[in-house]
Amino acid sequence: MKSNLIGYIKRKSLLYKTAVEYGDYTINHIQGCSHGCIYPCYAMLMARRFGKVATYEEWLRPKIVENAVELLTKEIPRHKTKIKFVHFCFSTDPFMYGYKEIEELSVKLIKMLNEAHIKCTALTKGCLPVELARLSDDNEFGITLVSLDEKFREKNEPFSASYKERIGCLYKLHKSGIKTWVSIEPYPTPNIIQQDFDDILNAISFVDKIIFGKMNYNAMVSKYAGYKEYFNLLSEKVINFCRKNNKIYHIKEGTITK
Ligand code: SF4
């Protein structure tokens, strides 16, 4: 059923190899993102640069790739032997908050890939649905979490799921035996928000993996005296926390500097 809240586009291809540092293959079956992050969102900057959307308001109105299932059916056999895993998504959010139709399509595409024995990972600022626990045990599902302060979220990730709901959905998957992770990125400096980093680590202490990265493309970061040392210190905290608690970690390129 087509919703009048979203638009539809057709694409010629779907699966592609990404150059993103922790990626392999990826899929972007939606254009735009209703979460409307203002850090700014790199995906929106790129979409504007390449003329896919003209304004922030247009970015907020997601468009579903209506031939996504058809494309994936053709592309899985073609790429299958080269794929280690498929990430959902680097240029949009696969579980946009309040968009059931997007959620259903994302689950369907993950299921198709799993049936071809391809592992999937996903990252969201929405709520991960519990149906994901019925798919392959190899999958890994994550949320982005850079604060626990709802005022910060309302200002910077205005239409995303609340932090409490986001963590709650992830915890349910963890309790169902699914591998979970958190991306603490793009992490802000104290002149953007004063907060206790340990509180964030403790709130997600159940996850299997943590990715940490500094905030980019925001002029406020370099205005914070000692921002390089600040990110070095937090990276070290993440590494120590993960080593102590037996978790996998990844510190994004450029976050630790000499
Ligand atoms: S959730 Fe991700 S893709 Fe969506 S607006 Fe925020 S940063 Fe951009």
Residue-wise pLDDT for 211-235, tens only, equals: 999 998 889 999 999 999 999 999 9
Q: Over the chain, what is the mean pLDDT?
A: 95
Q: Which of 26, 93, 102, 218 to mutate to test the pocket of ligand 1 (most atoms within 8 A of CB)?
A: 93
Question: Counting atoms of ligand 1 from 1, which one is nearest the CA of 91?
Answer: 3
Q: What's the mean pLDDT in 90-100?
A: 96
| Four-residue CA torsion sign, 54, 56, 61, 66 | positive
Neighbour tally for 32: CB within 10 Å:
25
Q: What's the mean pLDDT in 162-187?
A: 98
**Which domains are present in the chain?**
7-251 (3.20.20.70)
Using the mean position of ligand 1's atoms as its centre, give its distance from the Cα of residue 77 in Å: 30
Tokens representing 163 are 């932090």
Is the distance from the beta carbon of residue 185 to the nearest atom of ligand 1 less than 6 Å? no
Distance CA 20, CA 125 (A): 19
Is the distance from the beta carbon of residue 23 to the nearest atom of ligand 1 less than 6 Å? no
Q: Is the pLDDT of residue 118 over 60?
A: yes
Cβ(119)–Cβ(25) below 8 Å: no
Q: What's the mean pLDDT in 10-17?
A: 96
Instruction: Determine the pLDDT at residue 1.
Output: 42
Q: Which of 27, 37, 128 to mutate to test the pocket of ligand 1 (most atoms within 8 A of CB)?
A: 37
